[in-house]
Amino acid sequence: MSDNVPYGLKVRGADEGAARRRVVESLEAVGLAGFGARRARRLSRGGKMTGRQTLREERTGMLTFEEAREAILARVSPLGTEAVPLADAAGRVLAGEVRSPWDLPPWDNSAMDGYAVRADDCRGSATLRISGYMAAGGPDAPKVTPGCAVKIMTGSPVPEGCDAVVPFEDAEERDGSVHVPAPVTPRAHIRFRAEDIPAGTVVVPEGTVLRPPEISMLASFGLATVSVYRRPRVAVLSTGDELVELGEPLDHGKIVNSNSHALAAAVAEAGGVPTLLGIARDDRESLRSKLSAGTSADVLVTSAGVSAGDRDFVRDALAELGVTPVFWKVLIKPGGPTAFGVRGGTAVFALPGNPVSSLITFEIFVRPAIRKMTGHSCPVKPAVKAILAESVKKKSGKTHFFRVTIETGEEGYVARTSGDQNTGILRSLVLADGIAVLPAERTAFAAGEKVDVLLLYR
């Protein structure tokens, strides 16, 4: 049944599915489904839709937060792979598993600075003649014979014949001999060959983010280059007649284009490679030419011009460019007017213009897509549970994303509002440690209740 449903709409209940199909079919019947459909259809009728019609059609066709995220993830895949020097591999995602080419450690070696002994010689208190010396990386000492010990440094291969190491602090050296006062357990203070990793073991699985421990593992096996997934190239376009670039005069009515810089920073932080396409003006020609520059990227992210304003032409321009729409509004707040589509290998996100909304929708939609493209085995960054410090109320029907600070209390994370939640307030996002995800169907949350929080930028 779901095969019949275009645009990635996921059918939850039969009624809902039918309602959505009706909306989509009615648009298809006039050949106008997709980005700009509402506007085009309105124009084709030669009149305006009433507010009520618009609302009803959009509501029935709108995806929930979870559906929208699923619809995105279903349409993006890990990109190709490339070989990078290990020195540049931190934070990248490993393509293909790595197996250990040899045992680790490769030979039995001393875990302590001390004396390599035969445990048999040290059943009680014993005095042994020091017959050799071994430092890490130095030449081997001769075999340890009965009644003898070899002075040995940490990391040095243990000499033949010995089966334990006595640390300096448990022994006393005098006149070329060492006195060991207490019995020694066989195998004590020896790191045995392969005890960490036998040869042929999968040491870093496919899809693993290379953190310092994985880098350590790969370096331990001498790997100078590793195969990782390519980072997505993400083109960022701001749109709006009111925008000026950094350093340009701020005439009355103008604002600085902050979204390009914010989104570029978010792209880099999420593992993508940003390219700034600048500013497109609120006219079709400007949008068309700037947008087409982004179609060779893996991801195209635009901000603004996707609401219901008279000069919001982004959807139309994307449709003209051949972007296949997947959704054009989501049941979320902030960020409702977020659109997503695909064109060839490019995933296209049209985010709302408010700086807060664009960063929050980036976080919940663009980041998972970038993570999946980078080969990450877990595209959706896991949320943490946090206890609400205060009660919260919201309307039912949309998932709300609430800017919060996070403190560590006795029973775990505690979330508190970071300030005014209006989308025009950037300050509360600057102060936020995370965004609390308040489910669509709920309306009241009591203080003390646990909610999911997406930690921001860490």
Question: Which residue's CB is nearer to Mg ion, number 240 or number 379?
Answer: 240
Residue 365's nearest CA partner among 391, 417, 327 is 327
Would you count residue 286 as binding ligand AMP (CB under 6 A)?
no
The nearest distance, CB 305 to ligand AMP, in angstroms, is: 5
The nearest distance, CB 243 to Mg ion, in angstroms, is: 9
Per CB under 6 A, the list member of 304, 347, 356, 359 interacting with ligand AMP is 304
Would you count residue 240 as binding Mg ion (CB under 5 A)?
yes
Residue 31's nearest CA partner among 42, 41, 39 is 41
DSSP H or E run through 242: none
Other residues' Cβ atoms within 10 Å of the Cβ of residue 111:
15
Per-residue contact flags (x/-) with ligand AMP for residues 178 to 207, judged by CB under 6 A: ------------------------------
Would you count residue 278 as binding ligand AMP (CB under 6 A)?
no
Which residue in the shown chain puts its C-beta closest to ligand AMP? 353
Residue 415's nearest CA partner among 443, 395, 435, 438 is 435
Q: Token match 């005439």: residue?
A: 251
Would you count residue 304 as binding Mg ion (CB under 5 A)?
yes
Residue 226's nearest CA partner among 234, 217, 235 is 217
Would you count residue 279 as binding Mg ion (CB under 5 A)?
no
Question: Which residue's CB is nearer to Mg ion, number 266 or number 306?
Answer: 306
Question: Which residue's CB is nearer to Mg ion, number 351 or number 415?
Answer: 351
| Span of 21-29, 298-306, 318-326, 357-365 interacting with Mg ion by CB under 5 A | 298-306
Which of positions 228-247 make contact with ligand AMP (CB under 6 A)?
Answer: 238, 240, 242-243
Strand 233-239, strand 148-152: pairing = unpaired
SS3 state of residue 219:
helix
DSSP H or E run through 408: strand 399-409
Q: How far apart are CA 414 and CA 392, in angstroms?
A: 14
Which of positions 142-171 make contact with ligand AMP (CB under 6 A)?
Answer: none
387 forms beta bridges with 414, 450
Per CB under 6 A, the list member of 157, 159, 325, 352 interacting with ligand AMP is 352
Which of positions 66-125 make contact with ligand AMP (CB under 6 A)?
Answer: none
Would you count residue 353 as binding ligand AMP (CB under 6 A)?
yes
Residue 300's nearest CA partner among 233, 354, 208 is 233
Would you count residue 294 as binding ligand AMP (CB under 6 A)?
no
**Do 340 and 327 meet the contact criterion of CB atoms below 8 Å apart?**
yes
Residues comprising the chain, all counted: 458
User: Cα 431 to the chain's mean position, in Å?
Assistant: 21
Q: Which residues bind Mg ion (CB under 5 A)?
A: 240, 304-305
Q: Which residues bind ligand AMP (CB under 6 A)?
A: 238, 240, 242-243, 255, 257-260, 303-305, 307, 309, 352-355
